[in-house]
């Protein structure tokens, strides 16, 4: 927090010297509590201002700054482990313990937003799939539900596969990991030629699915349900489940922070199960 504050106060366009200006009315712990209440309950800034005895503009300003710092801290929770080192006397089980990921499971989600005033932005953010204006996010989890990457926010009209292509996330998936996705990612193997990619079989005109294809689809769905469960956990935080009322400039910060919280809970659960 102190490092972020020094950067903010020493920015080139700031006219006042460091130390000048109004001090925070609330201490850091209280500002953090207020921000996390906003993330978890998605109360209005007016309601939070009344609870903490500050103006709604103060709630908004403090929240933006706290979220930005929390994102810096949280990004370390969303990383791929280092590639496994084969040899050096390691057997298969030891190598697997050092590198637990078997799969990278991809999925996208959309959150409703307020209807944009600009006609061009209205068209860009209108999701034909959801029949409303949305912002789109994507995430990659391993088979145990640990989030490895999240994508930047894009307008709801963007197709899921294009969303991932333009995010840069696909290039960061290790080659050692198999990639699973739903039917909306048909053609993903062209983007990941060095990976093992599995998406559900699709029935075509005059070519219904065969029994073995149905069996494969069921098995893929059984594995992919992990990412749906992770998204459900993230949407326990109402700032990600209700219609987003605030500036989309903070949406990426919010999503990363919630993903890191869910990751920490998942790791605690896995550690308890292994104990």
Instruction: Tell me the pLDDT tens digit for each residue of 192-239.
Output: 999 999 999 998 888 899 999 999 999 999 999 999 999 999 999 999
Q: Give CA–CA dist 241/111, Å, rounded.
A: 7
pLDDT, residue 5, reads 59
Residue bearing the bigger pLDDT, 127 or 93? 127
**Statement: residue 262 has pLDDT above 80:** yes
- Under a CB-based contact definition with an 8 Å cutoff, are residues 201 and 209 in contact? yes
Please state, for a pLDDT cut of 70, what percent of the chain lies above it.
85
Q: Give CA–CA dist 218/247, Å, rounded.
A: 40
- Under a CB-based contact definition with an 8 Å cutoff, are residues 150 and 138 in contact? yes
Return the closest-CA partner of residue 133 out of 111, 164, 153: 111
Q: Give CA–CA dist 226/247, Å, rounded.
A: 30
For residue 255, give both structure tokens: 């999503």
pLDDT, residue 1, reads 61
Q: Which residues pair with 140 in a beta bridge?
A: 106, 149
Return the closest-CA partner of residue 141 out of 176, 106, 117, 112: 106
For residue 61, give both structure tokens: 């300003």
Residue bearing the bigger pLDDT, 19 or 206? 206
Q: Give CA–CA dist 136/139, Å, rounded.
A: 11
Q: What is the mean pLDDT of residues 76-102?
A: 69
At 127, is the secondary structure helix, strand, or coil?
A: strand
Return the closest-CA partner of residue 254 out of 179, 153, 103: 153
Q: pLDDT tens, 69-88?
A: 999 999 989 988 776 665 55
Return the closest-CA partner of residue 79 out of 267, 271, 273: 267
Alpha-carbon distances of 265 from 76, 104, 233, 261, rounded to whole Å: 15, 19, 10, 6
CB-neighbour burial class of residue 17 (10 A; exposed 0-12, middle 13-18, buried 19+): exposed
pLDDT mean across residues, the chain:
89
Q: What is the mean pLDDT of residues 48-54?
A: 97
Q: pLDDT tens, 103-162?
A: 999 999 999 999 999 999 999 999 999 999 999 999 999 999 999 999 999 999 999 999
pLDDT, residue 82, reads 74
pLDDT, residue 274, reads 81
pLDDT, residue 69, reads 94
Q: Give CA–CA dist 58/64, Å, rounded.
A: 10
The number of helix segments (H) and strand segments (E) in the chain equals: 10, 7
pLDDT, residue 204, reads 86
pLDDT, residue 176, reads 84
pLDDT, residue 84, reads 60
């Amino acid at each position: 927090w102190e490092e972020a504050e020094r950067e903010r106060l020493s920015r080139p366009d700031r006219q006042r010297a460091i130390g000048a200006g109004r001090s925070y009315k609330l201490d850091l712990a209280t500002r953090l509590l207020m921000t996390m209440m906003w993330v978890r309950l998605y109360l209005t800034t007016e309601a939070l201002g009344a609870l903490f005895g500050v103006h709604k503009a103060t709630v908004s300003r403090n929240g933006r700054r706290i979220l930005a710092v929390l994102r810096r801290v949280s990004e370390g929770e969303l990383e791929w482990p280092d590639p496994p080192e084969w040899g050096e006397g390691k057997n298969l089980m030891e190598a697997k313990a050092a590198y637990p990921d078997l799969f990278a499971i991809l999925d996208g989600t959309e959150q409703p937003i307020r209807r944009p005033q600009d006609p061009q932005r209205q068209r860009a953010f209108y999701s034909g799939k959801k029949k409303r204006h949305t912002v789109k996010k994507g995430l990659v989890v391993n088979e145990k539900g640990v989030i490895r990457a999240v994508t930047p926010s894009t307008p709801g009209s963007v197709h899921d596969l294009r969303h991932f292509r333009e995010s840069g996330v696909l290039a960061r998936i290790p080659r050692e990991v198999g990639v699973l996705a739903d039917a909306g990612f048909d053609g993903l193997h062209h983007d990941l030629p060095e990976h093992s990619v599995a998406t559900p079989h699709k029935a075509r005109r005059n070519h219904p699915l065969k029994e073995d294809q149905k069996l494969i689809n069921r098995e893929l769905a059984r594995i992919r349900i992990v990412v749906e469960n992770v998204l459900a956990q993230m949407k326990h935080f109402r700032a990600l489940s209700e219609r987003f009322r605030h500036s989309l400039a903070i949406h990426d910060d919010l999503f990363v922070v919630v993903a890191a919280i869910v990751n920490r809970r998942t790791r605690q659960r896995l550690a308890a199960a292994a104990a």
